[in-house]
Amino acid sequence: MTVLKQLPAQVLTAFKCSGGAFVAETDRAVIWKVKQQSGKPAALKIYHGKGMGNEARGFDFLTACNCVAAAYVIEKQGNAALVEWLDGPSLGDMVRGGDDRNASVILADVAHQIYGIGVVSGTSWPSVADWLNSLFALQFDPTCPQGVRQNFGIAQVWAKELLANQNELTPLHGDLHHDNVRLGARGYCAFDAKGVIGEKCYELANSFRNPVGADALVRDPARINGHADIVSERLGVDRGRLLKWAAVKCALSISWRAAGPLCQDVEFDLLELLIGAAKG
């Protein structure tokens, strides 16, 4: 990964911006805070050599939200995108500050507002079924515990059952969790979308693994059940189905990280907890 020490002048020129204060870097991109010609701040996200990957459709999704509970995409060029600046805090900050319940309420309300935007003409979208191929193809290292293998077997069975009877398939954010919703001038807005076709019940499956830095809370059975209660009620989805999707998404994330036969992972225990919650 190449670290950008300074924002390239040609990028600023292309987006008609000035300044450039480093904000953060991920394994995929570098984010800068810049100033538009109007004087308003914006987030400039510049992707590394591999490009936008599955986030390319995410910008289409955010654009289609038309400023409803989603960050406004000002412009997208090549390997970079200029997006509305959200001052924060994020819902992840709210959870880490001790207010998990209200964060769950706001997260579910944001998901409800951005649901069902409709497919953008002329674009092709990946599906949740496409993503789950990684889970179905997962292989295990001989040292992987038998209990873990059994849990993955359960997740694979549930994934096939859930895919077989999805309802009202539509574009989804695809990675909607606490650290991908921040407070801005227009209220709480989602950002960093992936863009995937799936059912409403899948949209907040990943929120059971989040936010970052709240590992003990995420693994608290009372929190798992409380979060499921809030999300299912406010988003209008079946609670049991939601928890099954949460377990499947956890297994899928582990599969993505495996990069070969699965041996160990930090979320084996969380997967077991989510399966237990889904079983009731």
* CA–CA separation, 92 and 106 (whole Å): 11
Separation CA 31–CA 44 (nearest Å) = 6
Please tell me whether residue 89 adopts helix, strand or coil conformation. coil
Residue 236 gets which letter from DSSP? Answer: T
**SS3 state of residue 25:** strand
192 alpha-carbon distance from chain centroid = 7
Cβ atoms 39, 53 nearer than 8 A: no
pLDDT at 38: 95
Q: What is the pLDDT of residue 2?
A: 47
Q: What is the pLDDT of residue 53?
A: 83
Bridge-based pairing state of the strands 41-47 and 29-36: antiparallel
How many alpha carbons lie under 13 Å from residue 81 in its C-beta half-sphere?
23
Query: For 48, left (φ over 0), alpha (ψ -120 to 50), or beta?
Result: beta
Identify the pLDDT of residue 238: 98
Residues lower than pLDDT 50 in the chain:
1-2
**Do residues 191 and 182 lie in contact, with contact meaning Cβ atoms separated by under 8 Å?**
yes
Q: What's the pTM?
A: 0.94
| The pLDDT of residue 55 | 87
Q: Which of 225, 236, 226, 229 is nearest to 203 (CA)?
A: 236
Give residue 54's pLDDT. 79
Question: For position 124, what pLDDT does the model report?
Answer: 81
Whether the bond between 126 and the residue before it is cis, its omega within 30 degrees of 0, is: no
55, 192 contact by CB (below 8 A): yes
